[in-house]
Amino acid sequence: MRYVTSIIVLEPLYEFIAYSKSLYTAFIIAAADGLGDVYMTEQIKIVTLGCDKNLVDSEIMSGIMDQYGHELVENAEDATVIIVNTCGFIDAAKEESVNTILELADLKETARLKALIVSGCLTQRYKEQLLEEMPEIDGIVGTGDFHKINDIVAEALQGKKPVRVGNPVFNYEQILPRKVATPRYTAYVKIAEGCDNNCTFCSIPIMRGKFRSRSMKSILAEVKQLADQGVKEISLIAQDSTNYGVDLYDGFKLPELMNKVSEVPGVEWVRLHYAYPGFFTEELIDTIASNPKVCKYVDMPLQHSEDTILKRMRRPGRQRDSRELVRKIRARIPEVALRTSIIVGFPGETDEDFENLASFVREMKFDRLGVFTYSPEEDTAATRLPDHVPDEVKEWRANTLMEIQREVSKNVNERHIGRMLDVLVERYDGRNDVYIGRSQYDAPEIDGEVFISNCKLSIGEIAKVKITHALEFDLAGEGVL
């Protein structure tokens, strides 16, 4: 991410909900009678919060709703049923989820809304509190049950207040109908669900369950469907993508999967997200280096540089291992763009630890960097650690790191001046007469853009662009016919 926002440590969720209600309307009780035939066509709005993995879940729910004859609408005011797919990863995400639910519940009085369904990570973790504190909710769906969304909507419209929150074991093995919400030329594909790494700060295993790979056959079938629809860029995602296949096959199978995805007709770019550093194999490095359709882009969260903090986080290896892995990747993939994420303010992080971390960021010159302030998550081991860092110190440290990264990013971008880059064209800015797109070094939404002038292009094409200017996070250049 380009900017860092402060993350507020919330009170327990039920207290925050009670507080939030004072900012909105009083309780709204939906009438169970007079809702009509539950099998009639409904106008469905799905609101997605959180990560791209959540987005895929929402796309599946959209596909199911469409398959059953419901109409998907853009505006919440036009909806008779709203599904809020929540995030519960950190306190700021919980806050956003709760506020969104409350805001949308108001539409029961002012618009056509008959049922408000809540799904995703927040429901998987806090279903009892949500049901008790928010009677506005008409149905709840967990992270392993969203494929049952049509039945849940039907029951909610009957006033039954259905709850489907079981063990999160679903892993996309069955290819379900899907309406892709991203632009037609790019899509995310989940290759695994859950996580077994048990980092002390992370609640993903609680909300998403144990790591489970999806079969290669299922993934390739979905990629073919997407490519047939015109998708050129496939972003492979999982909480722990580098561990792909160990539970299904004989060893790490991510390199084989990436090669097979690249062979699907119509696929031009294959992008890898969330590569856990502990399982980054030699074969994976070779695959990224040698396959021309695999983006020279590595999204590998390191989280910190200092050994004492890495140990407390229960992260793999130590600083010397991170340095060696980064050195190896850059040596074998000379043009690679390396994205990482850092957590500041973890319990026990001293001023000296942070100063060393800042020096590490300056020295390593990551092409892309996301900085997050530590957020204590219930039922995670880190909450029991001593020496928690004050919020104002966390925020200052995060802002300091991003200021360092601004300078680093500008210098990194300048290396592209004079080079020819392939750029995926995403939109046209008529006011400034420029097209805007991304190179293989930039992932959707989170990274930089390329501004293209002096050429007429088509949205969704991959164009040749000569880079003429470098900004802090973006590039500019001229299209080459």
CATH of the domain at 464: 2.40.50.140
- The answer to whether 455 is a known ligand-binding residue is no
Residues 306 and 452 in one domain: no
pLDDT-wise least confident of 60-74, 174-188, 246-260, 320-334: 174-188
Can you give the CATH number for the domain in which 317 is found? Answer: 3.80.30.20
Q: Assess if residue 14 is contained within a domain.
A: no
Q: How confident is the model at residue 39 (pLDDT cuts 50, 70, 90)?
A: low
Q: On the CB side of 194, how many CA atoms lie within 13 Å of its CA?
A: 20
- CB–CB of 244/192 below 8 Å? yes
Residue 390, token pair as written in the block: 């004050």
117: closest CA among 132, 99, 104? 104
pLDDT at 89: 76
pLDDT at 33: 34
Q: How confident is the model at residue 175 (pLDDT cuts 50, 70, 90)?
A: confident
Residues 437 and 407 in one domain: no
- The answer to whether 202 is a known ligand-binding residue is yes
Alpha helices by DSSP H, 249-390: 254-262, 282-290, 307-313, 319-332, 351-364
Residues 353 and 238 in one domain: yes
Please count the other Cβ atoms lying within 10 Å of the Cβ belonging to residue 263.
13
Question: Rounded to whole angstroms, how far apart are CA atoms 106 and 64?
Answer: 26
pLDDT at 14: 45
Q: What is the dihedral of CA 336, 424, 448, 224, to 10 degrees?
A: -70
Q: Last residue of some domain: 388, 415, 442?
A: 415
Query: Does the pLDDT of residue 37 top 80, yes or no?
Result: no
Can you give the CATH number for the domain in which 74 is found? Answer: 3.40.50.12160
Q: Assess if residue 21 is contained within a domain.
A: no
Q: Last residue of some domain: 164, 195, 213?
A: 164
Q: Which amino acid is at 96?
A: E
Q: Per residue in 274-298, pLDDT tens?
A: 999 989 999 999 999 999 999 999 9
Q: What total number of domains does the chain contain?
A: 3
- The answer to whether 87 is a known ligand-binding residue is yes
pLDDT at 166: 86
252: closest CA among 273, 275, 223, 281? 281
Find the domain containing 458 and state its range: 419-479
pTM for this predicted structure = 0.88
pLDDT at 253: 97
